[in-house]
Amino acid sequence: EDQVTQSPEALRLQEGESSSLNCSYTVSGLRGLFWYRQDPGKGPEFLFTLYSAGEEKEKERLKATLTKKESFLHITAPKPEDSATYLCAAYFSGAGSYQLTFGKGTKLSVIP
């Protein structure tokens, strides 16, 4: 069964302390890997889409990378406003392009 696993479940960082979140997947034909940010009581907010191994995308303090087995979300010099749950999702060739499989998320807390 296609699965998406995120680690760690929770991460506490001091402001300015860089780190990475992991998303590993077991699939039979990855078509796209997504990263979302979700604030409490809100819907997922789209951050990045990655389509092929070796691809990288950046937005402010965030950089997403993709290999054949996993994706990383690198956070450089985080600020308290980066605190949120970060979700990883994938869609696979077998399921068609309309069904995303989500991980459980990583809850990031950035302490001032």
Residues 91-110, interacting with another protein (CB under 8 A): 91, 96-105
Residues 39-98, interacting with another protein (CB under 8 A): 41-46, 49, 87, 89, 91, 96-98
Q: Pick from 21, 25, 30, 34 the residue near another protein by CB under 8 A.
A: 34
Q: How far is the CB of 100 from another protein (least distance, A)?
A: 5
Which lies closer to another protein via its Cβ, residue 76 or residue 101?
Answer: 101
CB 90 within 8 A of CB 30: yes
Counting residues that bind another protein (by CB under 8 A) gives 24
CA angle 81, 69, 96 (to 5 degrees): 90
Q: How far is the CB of 70 from another protein (least distance, A)?
A: 16
Which lies closer to another protein via its Cβ, residue 49 or residue 83?
Answer: 49
- Measured from the Cβ of residue 67, the count of other Cβ atoms closer than 10 Å reads 12
CB 6 within 8 A of CB 21: yes
- Residues of the shown chain interacting with another protein in the complex, contacts defined by CB under 8 A: 4, 32, 34, 36, 41-46, 49, 87, 89, 91, 96-105
